[in-house]
Chains A and B, each alone.
Chain A
């Protein structure tokens, strides 16, 4: 537990064979264990400890799987399992779907597949055999699409509804393919729930797409122009990426709220996500308070790994922002180029019309046509610039903010632990004073009180230490996972982007090759 291993060296791709899974590896056991972070609330749940012994997965845990999502899930699982931690009190909170109040994460359990009463979030129990069963049958396979944006309602109360389609072979879901209609605030509501449950214990919860009052107002008002269609498309793509990232996270995938979001046809309206609601204002106040606190916490970082990571993420943040700005400029200029090329094409056509030499006139018209096609090409490239490259960078800038948030939570956790220690010390000093005091009548009662308090604070200190260690452990794992995802994401996206550039050049060659003989034909 003490020495968390460094994020494993990347580059060692390995294909896990399914036979290994059939050995009865407790994949989902591990995910259960990750949620066993002690709650910040003072009363520990007195529940039977789940007896989850682990298989020895020692040698396999060192290897890193880069290839696809399903392997990632297993990789995480194998790592987790070997780091057997002594405290294994599953926290079963009675209220898994909170509003804003911080809540302990629910245990990862899914009901037996036979019982179908799962739409409402409920506490589930899970036996070891069940977990094994699922592990054997399942392959991490879930595909999410967000499509068909549809305007619902009129005027200022109108909103866009998006179709969320899930295709999966995971047995935790009722069906293999299903779809629901969701609106933007539903997505925000989902994120809010997940963030409240998981952020403060160290999980990097993917951030939801940003709100845009201007964009939405245009849509509501009913402007059917290209800028509002673009806005809707941008949002749709962002929502899709958001869900895809969220389900990739093995812990979040197990969350009943996420499942409810994907599956149930009716969802309670998430009013708390509105900016000007009571909850919204509370959020803003909290954010401000957090910012102030961050400045005042001076943590004694004993762990070099965290210090290094903090710095790395700062640098990454800065550079990504710069790159993002450059790519946005590129998108803008390419759109300009497209417009200017179109204008030139028209002008060349006019010139061709007034040219009285027949062959030259024809060639000029051809030139106009070529330029028109090229303008289309530039437009398409600008789309690729944006949707493929620029949006990825934007997503990662927000993700890194989430990572920084998680690191901040760790600092707060540390602070809490330190504060508890200080209080304990004070109580002990108070006790010592009492020992030396000379008031016999009140003494015994006071001594008893103090003793109780000391016990209470001793527990708190221990809890604080455990919390801190737990969050540190979770963060290490999360950061490792995040870095792997980041590498994969960037590589995939950049290659896709370069391929779009290749296509553009190939088209350009075609167009100019067609034009050349026309130009030569001018006699």
Chain B
């Protein structure tokens, strides 16, 4: 009978726990969406996109069609081609120092962010396990407190209460670490991947340009289809220069944003960790004061 009662006692706590979890996940998702939209709005070209405006302004339901099978398959093949190409293209050394430096940097950075992101996830999950254990310990102590016939019962109940409260704080630490650290790293994992993709597209266009040059030389040598070759070459050249220019800007922006985002998140992380540690400390100290006063 007693065990059933203790279960019921914990039912509101369970409901609360589930709500807290849901809230945490919801907060995360909202934050990520906000970052995405801000990015698009800040982008000189993308901000003018009509789809974007519709998304922000249309006050009724958007009927967004999901990708059908065909489109998904297309995406899949595109990725395959890209990775195969990427191997070929990355062999080409870049004339421009800036882009060469960026490429080396991005490749290494991307790998390290990936690693850090994974490790941060594991760390956050461990933190949550610890919080869950504290929860179980709290309820065991509660049962001990209700059953004990000696002086210990008040003691156990007080400590059980403490564990309940510190557990909540631990859970919040874990959630905040997840939000400020793990999510940051995940986001920049994807960003660095996008930057790499940009470089790839530029390299592709460079290869096209070089191929067009070779074709032009050949055409001039054979004196056949020179005009067509010239046009193709000019188009490639323009494309290449345009993409190079925008890529340069994008990469510079990428660095600025990255630094700002890391700064914001690290500062917030440190502030939250401090807040929680102080809260925890206060709980522990006041509990100890009560317990020491009793004995």
Contact = CB atoms under 8 A, between A and B. Distances in A.
Interface in B138-191: 140-141, 143-144, 147-152, 155, 159, 162, 166
Contacts of A506: 281
A327 interface: yes
Contacts, number: 160
Interface in A328-363: 329-330, 333-334, 336-337, 340-341, 343-344, 347-348, 350-351, 353-357, 359-360, 363
B47 to A, nearest CB: 25
Interface string B257-282: 01100110011011101100110110
Interface centre among A316, A344, A360, A364 (most CB of B within 10 A): A344
A21 B258 CA distance: 77
A494 B155 contact: yes
B107 to A, nearest CB: 10
A10 B150 CA distance: 7
B263 A360 contact: yes
A333 B267 CA distance: 27
Binding site of A, secondary structure by majority: helix, strand, loop or mixed?
Answer: helix
Contacts of A509: 274, 277-278, 281
Interface residues of A, number: 57
A330 B137 CA distance: 9
A340 B116 contact: no
A340 B122 contact: yes
A306 interface: no
Interface stretch (B11-19, B54-62, B239-247, B283-291): B283-291
Nearest to A521: B263
Interface residues of B, number: 57
Contacts of B127: 337
A9 to B, nearest CB: 9
Interface stretch (B30-38, B77-85, B128-136): B128-136
B129 A336 contact: yes
B113 interface: yes
A487 B269 CA distance: 41
A15 interface: no
Given A350-B116, A356-B105, A363 B262 contact: yes
A517 to B, nearest CB: 9
B109 interface: yes
Contacts of B129: 333, 336-337
Contacts of B134: 330
B253 to A, nearest CB: 13
A91 B266 CA distance: 76
A319 B269 CA distance: 38
Most chain B beta carbons < 10 A, residue from A487, A498, A506:
A498
Interface of A: 10-11, 312, 315-316, 319-320, 322-323, 326-327, 329-330, 333-334, 336-337, 340-341, 343-344, 347-348, 350-351, 353-357, 359-360, 363-364, 367, 483, 486-487, 490-491, 494-495, 498-499, 501-502, 505-506, 508-509, 512-513, 515-516, 519-520, 522
9 contacts: A316-B144, A327-B137, A354-B108, A357-B255, A363-B266, A498-B287, A501-B284, A502-B284, A512-B277
